[in-house]
Amino acid sequence: MKDLHIGISGWRYAPWRGDFYPRGLRQRDELRYASRAFNSIELNGSFYALQTPERYRQWAGDTPTRFCFSIKGPRYISHIKRLRDAREGLANFFASGPLELGEKLGPILWQVPPSLGFDEEVVEQFLAQLPRDSQAALKLARDSATRKPGHWPEALGAQPLRHALEVRHQSFATPRFVRLLRQYGVALVIADAPRKWPYAEDLTARDFVYLRLHGDKELYASGYGEAALRRWSRRIEHWRRGSQPRDAELFDDSIAGDRHPRQVFCYFDNDMKVRAPYDASRLMQLLDLKLDDRQEPGQPAGDWS
């Protein structure tokens, strides 16, 4: 299913070793293992520090052909600059090499801190600066004063870039914010986080939905039971069709759904107690998402190791 991407947020977690990752698996093989259990992973190291073109190329080479990464944008832009004066940070980010992922480059996630409230002017200026395709991103990368930009294979042309925004302050719960996202084609992240942050299911990007599951009862720790996973599978089926569940929670209820089929990117972030990989695996089963030569979680590695 090319329109369905289920996976985990990050893959390097010590408690996973000897559980999700079988005993004896080399740490350098963990991405190869995880990328054969799921068809997408949210790359979050880029949030904490800029990576390098060489590292992105290595990650691309370690993963199967039909795999894709979502990338978490740098906290320098979201948490330190707080979305203001973002051009320099964006130039350095794209110069750090995410375009090296080529066709494996999925959406870019921008997560803002709980202390950042909604400022319509600031948010709109940020959204307006986000590059909408690979050529625009490469042009921006060439403006970096501190980094030599990576490249974009000519054969891929100008590939569209997609962006998603996750908010954590209640002031974003307004139709004005949703309308801004729709204007710029940016997805509102549907973030399940035990009511810690504002929650909404507005469909704001025309061709994709971005979902982050942070824990059913306890943030980052608790797993999702069978009933909860079945509920999420039903909602995902709605979003794939461009429709909304009848009980959808919305910031802007003037548009419930526009019937445009959408790709779904869903990541489990409840990693503390090794729940994320098993919850993601079960959700894949419920949605009948099958992978060629799939690596079963916790089982010995395949022939690639």
DSSP H helices, 242-275, are: none
In 3D, which of 108, 112, 113, 150 has the Cα closest to residue 130? 108
Residue environment code for 41-73, b if the CB has 16+ CB neighbours within 10 A, otherwise e: bbbbebbeebbebeebeebbebbeeebbbbbbb
CA angle at residue 151 from 147 to 154, to 5 degrees? 160
The β-bridge partners of 40 are 7, 68
Q: Are 77 and 90 in contact (CB under 8 A)?
A: yes
- pLDDT the model gives residue 186: 98
CB 264 within 8 A of CB 208: yes
- DSSP 8-state secondary structure symbol assigned to residue 63: S
Q: What is the pLDDT of residues 150-164, one digit of tens each?
A: 666 665 678 899 999
Residue 32 DSSP SS3: helix
Spans of the chain below 50 pLDDT: none
**CA dist., res. 121 & res. 98, Å (int):** 28
Best CATH choice for the domain 4-286 from the list 3.40.980.10, 3.40.50.150, 3.90.1150.10, 3.20.20.410: 3.20.20.410
Q: Tell me the C-alpha to C-alpha distance, in Å, between residue 146 and each of 91, 94, 97.
A: 9, 12, 13
In this predicted structure, what is the pLDDT of residue 157?
72
* Among 170, 263, 269, 183, residue whose Cα is nearest residue 221: 269
pLDDT at res. 155: 56
Handedness of CA 280, 283, 287, 292 (dihedral sign): positive
- Output the six-digit token pair for 155: 């054969």
Report the distance separating Cα 208 and Cα 106, nearest Å.
10
